[in-house]
Chain A
Amino acid sequence: MTEPALLSVENVSVNLPTPRGNLRAVDQVDLSVGAGRTLGIVGESGCGKTMLSRAILQLLPKKAMLSGRVMFDGEDLVRLDRERLRKLRGRSLAVVFQDPMTSLNPVLTIGTQLIETLQEHLELDGVAAKMRSIELLAAVGIPAPEQRLMQYPHQLSGGMRQRVAIAIALSCEPKLLIADEPTTALDVTIQAQILDLLAREQRRRHMAMIIITHDLGVVAGRTDEVAVMYAGRVVERAPTPDLFKRMRMPYTEALLAAIPKIDAKPHTPLPAISGRPPDPTRPLKGCSFSPRCKYAWAQCQIEKPPLADADSPGHQYACFRPLNTEAGASA
């Protein structure tokens, strides 16, 4: 960890004023990604992972209040002037959104949407930009790329649209790609293809990548490090193999248990995490997961566990009763 990280999120909080009071969507998050590395951010809906990605991209809703620093390539994105930020976005910092049905503009052709990004950042003339667009579409596995340039998003399937969105994101060779639930809106059969495509392009271009997902299975073989978020906080963070071998946080365990197993007997009930995440406008005094945690004891309800180092390097967790330790319950 001597090399400075490409992206480091330092003590970032996002607060949203709502009619029911202040909503703390992201709560003092610290994360970092080195150049060419991949980070998975995992958590269920409403845990703040999308808000965190929007905070990194500076695409938060107008009313949202952001505190902390987002250091990217030596610059603090939070305090960057608009013009400099615009030059970074799309060029060094790219994103793929969750739903390709809504993330592409319905009234512009695929070609326009690809070429405008290229011409904005790379000073290509029309012919060169078109050639490069065709190459990009071919690279993300789109057949007959030349014809696609003339087509509109609605003429393509969901999977194809997400490939186009990935081509747009990759178009200027970004240093960091943020993929926000890139496969959630797609058919199961397409999901693996898109994830493999992202992993392949990430390696080939040596770019850093953040994959945001609710599915621990998605990050398992495809990331260097995983951060598990719950109620706006990072509750466990570890190098990916270490996390799966020595998970400490009961929430991580519950997330893993909720993935359907291919070798499970038919009609085995899928273990679900009972209850719902806490109301983000009414923060709990103790651990946010304690009301749903089967190991919780008195201390968990009174005190918020800090994110502390575990025994293995790079592994942190926020729990008073970590799994498979003396203090915690052995699961």
Chain B
Amino acid sequence: MAFFLARRLLYLVPVLIAVSLLTFSISSLLPGDLAMTILADQATPENLAALRADMGLDQPIWKRYFIWLGHMLQGDFGRSFRTGQTVLQALVERLPVSIELMLLAQLGALSIGVPLAIICAVRSGGPFDRFMTGTAFAMLSVPTFLSAILLIYLFAVELRWLPATGYVPFAEDPLGNLRFMVLPAMTLALAEWPGIMRILRSDMIATLQEDYISLAKAKGLKPARILFVHALKPSSLTLVTITGINIGRLIGGALIVETIFALPGIGRLLVGAILTRDLVILQGVVLLVAAGFVIVNFIVDMLYAVLDPRIRHGHA
């Protein structure tokens, strides 16, 4: 297991280098001139040249990459030239919102998707299974902005149970925080449970036809044990991957949902940075998302090994 871990960690090095290269190239490859953007109407040729020299933009690109990488490795991610806030500060401020949203959404999606998948797999081909598979397919085709608006209409406008938009930090008012989080998390969960259900359902159906499930029945084990210990564990590898991808994606914030519900998360930071051409913040967010993906994928790999001993021992 230690060897497996070390090998996986080693794989991360080239991935992280590639990530840093791509992130860095954002500032150089995007159309427009950073110095020009900053100076706007005060951009005289002298001012431009001075600022370029000041920011190191007159250096050759490979040199700039190493300078930039050096700063990154020291934890200096730069500073927004609009707000003066450091990137790190901006991210640290926004990250808890996005992470909380992501966790609640995953929790919701899993607690809808997993039980439904198990029931459908056990009764595959039956009326319940056919109904749920159809529903899941329909739900997959509902875009988040639509379900967000419908949820706001139902729970905020008609029933007046929950606030439509806004946010308070969890530390200030835990209950109020959760009230603000329910609808956005539900919106994301509604978009994600169908994928979870469909994947787990089909894997479960395949597993239930395995010889070892017949043997588990022939051993006289309780149905719950057969289902949860013998069938669910070997069926959950794809589920773990899907959940990992979802988590990785949501670390970068949920653009649409955060915008609709006015949550101050990473997603809105990103939207703001794009609209104001704040390249430094943009770079920071992209780096965070990429790093998030890499880390989540690493954790998914580890979970594979925990779930399937054949991977742990390098057999499969």
Chain A residues engaging chain B, CB cutoff 8 angstroms: 57, 59, 86-91, 93-95, 97, 99, 102-109, 116-117, 120-121, 152, 154-155, 165, 168
B309 touches A152 (CB 8 A): yes
In the complex, whether B219 has a CB less than 8 A from a CB of chain A is: yes
- Most-contacted residue by chain A among B220, B310, B315 (CB, 10 A): B220
B310–chain A nearest beta-carbon distance, Å? 5
Q: Is the CB of B308 within 8 A of A106?
A: yes
Query: Is B37's beta carbon under 8 Å from chain A?
Result: no
A57 touching B234 by the CB < 8 A rule? no
Q: Is the Cβ of B211 less than 8 Å from the Cβ of A120?
A: no
Q: Is B73 an interface residue (CB 8 A)?
A: no
Distance in Å from the Cβ of B124 to the closest Cβ of chain A? 9
A residues less than 8 Å from B212 (CB atoms): 102-106
| Chain A residues whose CB sits within 8 angstroms of the CB of B233 once the complex forms | 107-108
Q: Please determine whether B219 and A97 come into contact, CB atoms closer than 8 angstroms.
A: no
Q: Is the CB of B309 within 8 A of A121?
A: no
Interface SS majority for chain B: helix
Let me know if A107 and B308 touch, CB within 8 A.
yes
Are A89 and B211 neighbours in the complex by a CB distance under 8 Å?
no
With A102-B211, A103-B212, A107-B309 in contact, is A95–B230 under 8 Å at CB?
A: no
Question: Chain B residues near A155 (CB, 8 Å)?
Answer: 313
CB within 8 Å of A: which of B101-156? none
Are A90's CB and B308's CB within 8 A? no
Output the nearest chain A residue to B233 by Cβ-Cβ distance: A107
Evaluate contact between A94 and B225: CB separation under 8 angstroms.
no
A94 to B307: give the CA distance in the assembly, Å.
Answer: 28
Complex contacts, B230 vs chain A, CB 8 Å: 105, 108
B234 touches A154 (CB 8 A): no
Known: A89-B219, A103-B214, A116-B225; 5 extra A-B contacts, CB below 8 A, are: A57-B218, A107-B308, A109-B309, A120-B219, A152-B313
Residue tally, chain B, CB below 8 Å to A: 23
Tell me, in angstroms, the Cα distance from A108 to B221 when the chains sit together.
Answer: 14
CB under 8 Å from chain A, chain B span 206-236: 210-212, 214-222, 225, 229-230, 233-234
- Find chain B residues with CB under 8 A from A116 CB: 219, 221, 225, 229
Instruction: Report, nearest first, the 9 A-B pairs whose CB atoms are least far apart.
Output: A90-B220, A90-B219, A89-B220, A102-B211, A152-B309, A105-B212, A103-B211, A95-B218, A117-B219
Chain A residue nearest in CB terms to B306: A107
| 6 A–B contacts from the bound complex (CB under 8 Å) | A89-B217, A95-B215, A97-B215, A106-B309, A107-B309, A120-B220
Contact B220 A103 (CB under 8 A): no
B220, chain A: closest CB distance, angstroms:
3
A94, B221: Cα distance in complex, Å: 12
Residues of B contacting A90 with CB < 8 Å?
A: 218-221
B9 to chain A, nearest CB (A): 24
A87: chain B residues within 8 A (beta carbon) = 220
B220 engages A86 (CB within 8 Å): yes
In the complex, chain B residues whose CB is within 8 Å of the CB of A121? 220
Contact with A along B178-217 (1 / 0, CB 8 A): 0000000000000000000000000000000011101111
Residues in A whose Cβ lies below 8 Å from that of B216: 105
Within the assembled complex, what's the spacing in Å between the Cα atoms of A35 and B214? 25
Residues of B near A109 (CB, < 8 A) are 309
Measured CA separation A95–B212 after assembly (Å): 12
Contacts of B218 in A (CB 8 A): 57, 59, 89-90, 93-95
Of the listed residues A107, A165, A168, the one surrounded by the most CB atoms of chain B closer than 10 A to its CB is A107
B229-A168 in contact (CB<8A): no
Per-position contact with A for B275-316: 1 when CB-CB < 8 Å, else 0?
000000000000000000000000000000001111001010
User: Given the known A-B contacts A97-B215, A105-B212, A105-B234, are A120 and B308 also in contact in the complex, defined by CB atoms under 8 Å?
Assistant: no
Known contacts A105-B234, A106-B309, A154-B310; decide if A91 and B215 are in contact (CB<8 Å).
no
Cross-interface CB contact of B214 among A59, A93, A106, A154, cutoff 8 Å: A59
In the bound complex, residues from chain A placing their C-beta under 8 Å from that of B221 are 86, 90, 116-117, 120
Residues of A within 8 A of B234 (CB): 105-107
- By beta carbon, the residue of chain B nearest A168 is B219
Most B CB within 10 A of own CB, among A86, A106, A165:
A106
A154 surroundings in chain B (CB, below 8 A): 309-310, 313, 315
Bound-state Cα–Cα, A104 to B215, Å: 8
Supposing A87-B220, A105-B234 touch, asked if A97 and B309 sit within 8 A by C-beta, the answer is: no
- The answer to whether residues A103 and B308 also contact, given A90-B220, A155-B313 and a CB cut-off of 8 A, is no
Contacts A97-B214, A99-B211, A116-B225 hold; do A106 and B219 have CB atoms under 8 A apart? no
Report the Cα distance A152→B307, complex, angstroms. Answer: 12
Of B214, B220, B225, B307, the contact of A107 (CB 8 Å cutoff): B307
Most A-side CB within 10 Å, residue of B210, B216, B234, B308? B216
Q: How far is the CA of A19 from the CA of B313 in the complex (A)?
A: 42
Distance, CA A181 to CA B234, complexed state (A): 26
Of A91, A99, A106, the contact of B220 (CB 8 Å cutoff): A91
B contact residues around A120 at 8 Å (CB): 219-222
B220 A152 Cβ-Cβ under 8 A: no
Contacts of B315 in A (CB 8 A): 154
Specify which of B215, B225, B234 lies most central, judged by the most chain A CB atoms within 10 Å of its CB.
B215
* Contact partners of B211 in chain A: CB under 8 A: 97, 99, 102-103
**Residues A102 and B217 in contact, CB atoms below 8 Å apart:** no
What's the nearest-Cβ distance from chain B to residue A141, in Å?
20
A176 nearest CB across to chain B (Å): 12
Please measure, in the bound complex, the distance between the C-alpha atom of A178 and the C-alpha atom of B313, giving whole angstroms: 33
A146 vs B262: C-alpha distance in the bound complex, in angstroms? 60
State in angstroms the CA–CA spacing of A152 and B311 once bound together: 12
CB contacts (< 8 Å) of A117 on chain B: these are 219-221
A93 neighbours in B (Cβ, 8 Å): 218
Task: Write out the residue numbers on chain B whose beta carbons fall within 8 Å of the beta carbon of A97.
Answer: 211, 214-215
